């Protein structure tokens, strides 16, 4: 069955998406028409857009050593001050970029630019801090120029650059830069979760042919019982900064929950920290199983996919009628 898919941010906790997608496939949803995501969700949306299925995604995640993502440099954490000065991030960010490139190159349907995908197949969210705006890739690419001045073209924009921007957790990964067409000044491009951690709005329309399913990560084991973050001690400014970004990436307000709740699979991630890339096999298994169980329960409840217009997708209405 056809569906659109939207995936939230959440750092390493995005491993839960593989389990949720397995449950979605078992429920019949294996033909993803339009895909969108932020941060870890952008990586997941990208993999589906280039032909990975749930098992292919899990295999790719299992094969990658996530501990290498924290690429501080030859001297390890001792290089953090130098990285902050040179790159504006505690890591160098090279390993993340290389992994995204590998996922694209090894895909069942390899692609390098948005134009190589079906029109509207993939959208990812970034933020330009220097120009205080959310950027939807590839739609908003024309807001930027290269050194030759003409606006950048959506079809020729690299998928890897857009996804790397969307996954660029501030201060941890170095921001990327695109030159704004109006100010002619470089933008500071970071994690889309700062502005839109769960872009469900992208695919809403009055007469949907098929449902949009949202996959949202949340800390803790129950939406009403959140996890706790200690903000104290000498390093409290760092604790607070990480908590600010985590909250902006993962929190949904009451209005969003009312609008998106009927189409959203909430995936509990326990106490796994967003940036704890040195996961144990037990933690990986927990995230996969948690995502699978939450999504299976959701689809077993036979959701009607009703959107913010109050419309039930035609494909679901036909089955129900």
Partners of residue 32 on adjacent β-strands: 3
Residue 291: what are its φ and ψ, rounded to 5°?
A: -65, -40
Provide the token pair at 191: 């994690």
List CB contacts of 295: < 8 A, sequence separation 6 or more.
19, 20, 21, 22, 23, 24, 27, 215, 265, 267
191 labelled catalytic: yes
With CA atoms as reference, report the closest residue to 164 among 67, 97, 95, 91: 97
- In contact, 11 and 41? CB cutoff 8 Å: no
**Alpha helices, DSSP H only, in the chain?**
16-26, 40-49, 54-63, 80-87, 94-105, 159-166, 236-250, 254-260, 281-300, 314-320
Out of 71, 128, 140, 191, the active site residue is 191
With CA atoms as reference, report the closest residue to 119 among 166, 154, 158: 154
Partners of residue 125 on adjacent β-strands: 38, 136
Instruction: Map residue 37 onto helix, strand or coil.
Output: strand
246 labelled catalytic: no
- In contact, 220 and 270? CB cutoff 8 Å: yes
Residues with a catalytic annotation lie at 39, 191
């Amino acid at each position: 069955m056809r569906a659109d898919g939207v995936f939230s941010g959440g750092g390493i906790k995005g491993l839960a998406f593989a389990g949720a997608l397995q449950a979605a496939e078992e429920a019949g949803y294996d033909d993803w028409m339009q895909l969108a995501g932020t941060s870890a969700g952008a990586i997941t949306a990208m993999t589906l857009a280039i032909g990975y299925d749930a098992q292919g995604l899990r295999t790719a995640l299992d094969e990658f050593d996530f501990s290498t993502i924290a690429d501080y440099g030859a001297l390890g954490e001792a290089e953090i001050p130098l990285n902050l000065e040179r790159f504006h991030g505690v890591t160098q960010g090279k390993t993340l970029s290389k992994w995204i490139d590998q996922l694209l190159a090894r895909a069942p349907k390899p692609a390098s630019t948005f134009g190589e995908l079906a029109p509207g197949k993939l959208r990812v969210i970034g933020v330009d801090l220097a120009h205080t705006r959310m950027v939807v890739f590839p739609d908003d690419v024309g807001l930027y120029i290269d050194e030759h001045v003409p606006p950048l073209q959506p079809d020729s924009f690299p998928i890897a650059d857009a996804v790397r921007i969307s996954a660029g957790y501030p201060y941890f990964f170095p921001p990327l830069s695109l030159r704004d067409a109006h100010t002619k000044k470089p933008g500071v491009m970071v994690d889309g979760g700062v502005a839109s951690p769960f872009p469900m709005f992208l695919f809403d329309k009055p007469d949907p042919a098929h449902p949009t399913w949202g996959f949202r990560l949340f800390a803790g084991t129950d939406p009403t019982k959140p996890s706790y973050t200690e903000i104290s001690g000498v390093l409290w400014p760092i604790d607070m900064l990480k908590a600010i970004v985590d909250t902006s990436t993962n929190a949904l307000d009451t209005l969003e929950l009312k609008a998106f709740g009927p189409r959203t699979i909430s995936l509990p991630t326990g106490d796994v920290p967003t940036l704890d890339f040195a996961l144990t096999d037990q933690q990986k298994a927990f995230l996969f199983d948690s995502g699978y169980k939450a999504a299976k329960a959701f689809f077993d409840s036979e959701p009607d996919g009703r959107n913010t217009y109050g419309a039930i997708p035609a494909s679901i209405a036909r089955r129900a009628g």
